[in-house]
C-alpha cells in the first residue's frame, strides 16, 4: 500500500496522460468517423468504396500493429514529426494518430447503423423540400442518427480509454507502462499497485458509462 501512496504523483501523472490520449483521440475519431460514415452513405461509389476499404482494413488490423506502424513508420517513412526537441510529445501524437485512425473505423460503423434507425420518411421529407444530400445528412439525418447511437458511442469511448494502454508499445508512458515500470521498482508491491491502477480505470470508465447512459435516455428521439 505504501508503494501506491509514495508513487501517487507518478500514478496520477500516468493517468493524466491516459486521459489526454483518450480525449484527444476520441474527438479526432468522432470527427473522422462521422466523415467516413458520410462517405459510406454518399451517392458517389468512389467515396463509398474508399471508406469501406478504410474501415475494413483498420478494424481488422490489431491495434498493436497500427500503433507500432505509426510509431516506427510514420516518422521514418512519411516524415511526420510533431516536435523536434521532445520525443515524448512526438510519441504522444504518433500514438494519437494510431488510436484515432483505429477508433474512427468503429465510430463510422456505429454512426452508419444509427443512420439506419432514422425512418425513411425523414429523408424523403427533407428531399421533398429541396435539401441536397449534404444538407439532408447534416440537418436531418445525422442529428437523429447520432442521438440514436449515444450508448454505443459511449461503449466505444470506454473501449478507447482502455485501448490507450496499447500506446505502451512505442514507449508512451501512460498508465499500463507506468504500472509495469513500478512493478519493476517495487517487486513486493505488485498487488497493491495493480489494484491502484485497476481502480484508476474503473474511476475513468464508470462515469463515462453512466453519463452516456443518461445522455442516451435524455436525448432519445421520441417516436
Partner 1 sequence: MRFGTCMLVLAAMATSLTACANSGASSIVDKAKDDKKLTIGIKIDQPGWGLKKPDGTYEGMDVDVARYIAKELGVPESGITFKEAQSANREPFIQQGQVDMVLATYSITDERKKKISFAGPYLVTGQDILVRADDTSITGEDSLKDKKVCGAQGSSSPKRLADKFGPDWESKNLTQQQGYGACLPLLQNKQVDAISTDATILAGFAKQLPGQFKLVGQPFSTEKYGVGLKMDDKAGRDAINNALDKMFKDGTWRKIVDANLGEFGKFFATPPPLERY
Partner 2 sequence: MSAATGTGRATVLYDAPGPRTRLRNNVLTLLFGAALLLVAYLVWAKFDEKGQWNGKLWRPFLEADTWTELILPGLRNTLSAAAVAAVLALVFGAVFGIGRLSEHRWVRIPAGVVVEVFRAIPLLMLIFFAQYGGSLAGLIVTEFTAVVFGLMLYNGSVLAEIVRAGILAVPKGQAEAGYAMGLRKNQVMRLILLPQAVTAMMPAIVSQLVVLLKDTALGFIVAYADLLNAGARVVPANFSNLIPSVIVIAAIYIAINLALGYLATWLERRSRRSPRSTAVPAVPEGAAGDEVTLAR
Report 80-109 residues binding partner 1 (CB under 8 A): 81, 85-88, 90-91
Among the listed residues 12, 53, 65, 72, the single contact to partner 1 using CB under 8 A: 72
CB half-sphere exposure, 210, CA atoms < 13 A: 6
Q: Which of residues 134-193 bind partner 2 (CB under 8 A)?
A: 136-137, 141, 148-149, 151-152, 154-156, 159, 162-163, 165-166, 168-169, 175-176, 179-180, 183, 187-188, 190-191
3 state DSSP class of 117: coil
- Please tell me whether residue 82 binds partner 2 under the rule CB under 8 A: no
Look at residues 108, 14, 21 and name the one whose alpha carbon lies nearest to residue 67: 21
Could you give the string, one character per residue 98-137, with x where binding to partner 2 holds by CB under 8 A and - elsewhere? -----x--x--xx-xxxxx---x--xx--x-----x--xx
- The Cα–Cα gap between 25 and 157 comes to 10
Q: Using CB distances below 5 to 8 A depending on partner kind, what does residue 88 bind out of partner 1, partner 2, none?
A: partner 1
From the CB of residue 87, how many other CB atoms can be counted at a distance below 10 Å? 10
Among the listed residues 1, 12, 44, 89, the single contact to partner 2 using CB under 8 A: 44
All three cell numbers of 29, joined, read 475519431
CB 158 within 8 A of CB 205: yes
CB of 75 to partner 1, least distance (A): 5
Amino acid at each position: 500500500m505504501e508503494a501506491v501512496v509514495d508513487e501517487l504523483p507518478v500514478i496520477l501523472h500516468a493517468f493524466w496522460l491516459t486521459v489526454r490520449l483518450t480525449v484527444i483521440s476520441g474527438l479526432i475519431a468522432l470527427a473522422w468517423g462521422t466523415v467516413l460514415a458520410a462517405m459510406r452513405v454518399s451517392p458517389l461509389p468512389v467515396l463509398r468504396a474508399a471508406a469501406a476499404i478504410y474501415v475494413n482494413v483498420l478494424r481488422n488490423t490489431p491495434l498493436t500493429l497500427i500503433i507500432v506502424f505509426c510509431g516506427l513508420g510514420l516518422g521514418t517513412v512519411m516524415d511526420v514529426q510533431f516536435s523536434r526537441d521532445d520525443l515524448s510529445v512526438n510519441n504522444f501524437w504518433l500514438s494519437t494518430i494510431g488510436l484515432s485512425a483505429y477508433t474512427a473505423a468503429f465510430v463510422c460503423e456505429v454512426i452508419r447503423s444509427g443512420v439506419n434507425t432514422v425512418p425513411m420518411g425523414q429523408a424523403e421529407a427533407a428531399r421533398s423540400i429541396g435539401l441536397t444530400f449534404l444538407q439532408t445528412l447534416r440537418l436531418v439525418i445525422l442529428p437523429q442518427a447520432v442521438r440514436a447511437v449515444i450508448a454505443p458511442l459511449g461503449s466505444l469511448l470506454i473501449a478507447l480509454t482502455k485501448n490507450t494502454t496499447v500506446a505502451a508499445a512505442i514507449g508512451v508512458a501512460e498508465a499500463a507502462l507506468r504500472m509495469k515500470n513500478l512493478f519493476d521498482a517495487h517487486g513486493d508491491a505488485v498487488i497493491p499497485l495493480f489494484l491502484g491502477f485497476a481502480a484508476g480505470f474503473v474511476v475513468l470508465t464508470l462515469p463515462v458509462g453512466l453519463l452516456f447512459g443518461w445522455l442516451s435516455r435524455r436525448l432519445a428521439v421520441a417516436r
